Structure 1
């Protein structure tokens, strides 16, 4: 389920829409045994070295430090430094979520640091990634989602061949959270219920008000306060469910897989993004 697409380094992108609070940048890749540094920059009006940089995130293996800073009118601000949370030669996952007054940075899906804005969020028009890495995934999106969350699935719904991806983090004291895929008539084609209080993930369906047989094989793949990517792929005979790119389980269809028109998310979690591909 991992995205196999690769990106050239340095990577530059012009943001087609202004960044809004609640949105998240996800950057995934691989470091090398001899990696020294790599960086992520949010920039204003271009990607040259002379533009303002509201956020400079520099991972420096040669100093064993992560440096956070900003550049305004040619002047660097005060550096903020923390120990590098990654190891050379291994994959990395960095997420930067924008809020009203700060960025919150996650490293390998765990909250790492906050960086208060020194320049307005509206200044950011470009983004760049550079350094000693192989870059495999760049995704920008999301918003604030009120939980419980319910939404229609546009077009022909979650038809076979489509995948629903949810980026979220269970709360620190989470007990349960669930994802439901609904048919047009309200039947639950898939009920995916992670229960920390039972150390199990329940899969089931409900038709005409009656629940079917529960499936709960497999160790719970979620951790409290640690982010996850949940991907539910609708295939002709079953849902294939992946957590953080690893196959977790298969749930055979108990109803027409072409009639999935709505999703529901509920429970003790914060949702950062929802994507259908």
Structure 2
């Protein structure tokens, strides 16, 4: 059962490199781009480009280039009319061999804010207007596990074409909440009605015992879905708390998809009869509704041994 992303959310799991994709609707303030990756056995450099087209001659609004040549550094630049601009540089390399790393780009009115493994890393001021930036390119010596383009609303330009499956889904409104402290809580505008999607990306803490994600009824704290991975038993417990009582636990799953110290991506997709849960792009299980009024399920909570990368509703 393949995961179909809702409008406003563009994930790609294990894409081949070089990888080029259109930014659906174009780049806008408030959008976030996340790259989870490792280095291959042999590596020299890799690049991530925010570009105006997919051709080699296209202008590049932001060129992010990690270089490993004995003087490890990250170079930042732009290219217009096939001429590179003034190079900016940071002599620090947080993207190490043998370890999964995470790069996040947050688009603001003034710059691209770059985060490395959750920590602020660099700010690159706009040299090319955002409305011209429509493509994302990844190349070089990098093995991408996940790349996600996260929008800040349903607004699009240029006659964006959606697949029939996507057009049937509610758009994700955003903006995403990034690097939030745990415990965490935010509202689901309009509630967890059918065709609504909630995405939680995080990293499991070392020596984790458990964490939980709750889809709740805000006004009375009933829990429509309690998702609780437990590392001692390698089980994903699901339950509901309704009318002051916990229901019957569900634990069936083909495998335990979480590891201590690893990143994860969980998507909750509400349907008429159940919530479909996907982990790292793969369908994990369905959970039948135990709260009837889905519009009242208007809050998502995260707690336990986990750090949040982003929550997107």
Q: Which of the five TM-score ranges fits, normalised by the shorter chain? A: 0.5 to 0.7
The aligned residue for residue 70 of structure 1 is: 78
Rate the CA distance shift 1:120–1:64 in 2: closer, same or farther, 3 A. Answer: same
Rate the CA distance shift 1:19–1:259 in 2: closer, same or farther, 3 A. Answer: same
Output the CA distance in 2 between the equivalents of 1:182 and 1:211: 14
Contact 2:217–2:298, Cα closer than 8 Å, also in 1: no
The aligned residue for residue 119 of structure 1 is: 128
**How well do the aligned residues superpose, as a CA RMSD in angstroms?**
4.5
Residues 72-111 of structure 1 mapped to structure 2, 5 A cutoff: 72-73=80-81, 74-111=83-120
| Offset of residue 101 of structure 1 | 1.1
Contact 1:184–1:259, Cα closer than 8 Å, also in 2: no
The aligned residue for residue 163 of structure 2 is: none
Which stretches in structure 1 are left out of the alignment for 5+ residues? 159-163, 170-177, 194-202, 214-220, 246-252
The aligned residue for residue 207 of structure 1 is: 242
Output the CA distance in 2 between the equivalents of 1:4 and 1:271: 17
**SS at the partner of 2:54?**
coil
Number of aligned pairs?
Answer: 234
Output the CA distance in 2 between the equivalents of 1:88 and 1:36: 11
For normalisation by structure 2, the TM-score amounts to 0.58
In terms of fraction of residues, the more strand-rich structure is 1
Contact 2:274–2:289, Cα closer than 8 Å, also in 1: no
2:200 aligned with 1:166, yes or no? Answer: yes
Contact 1:189–1:254, Cα closer than 8 Å, also in 2: no
For normalisation by structure 1, the TM-score amounts to 0.64
**SS at the partner of 2:200?**
strand
Output the CA distance in 1 between the equivalents of 2:58 and 2:38: 28
The aligned residue for residue 299 of structure 2 is: 264
Deviates more, 1:122-131 or 1:70-79: 70-79
Output the CA distance in 2 between the equivalents of 1:191 and 1:258: 16
2:306 aligned with 1:274, yes or no? Answer: no
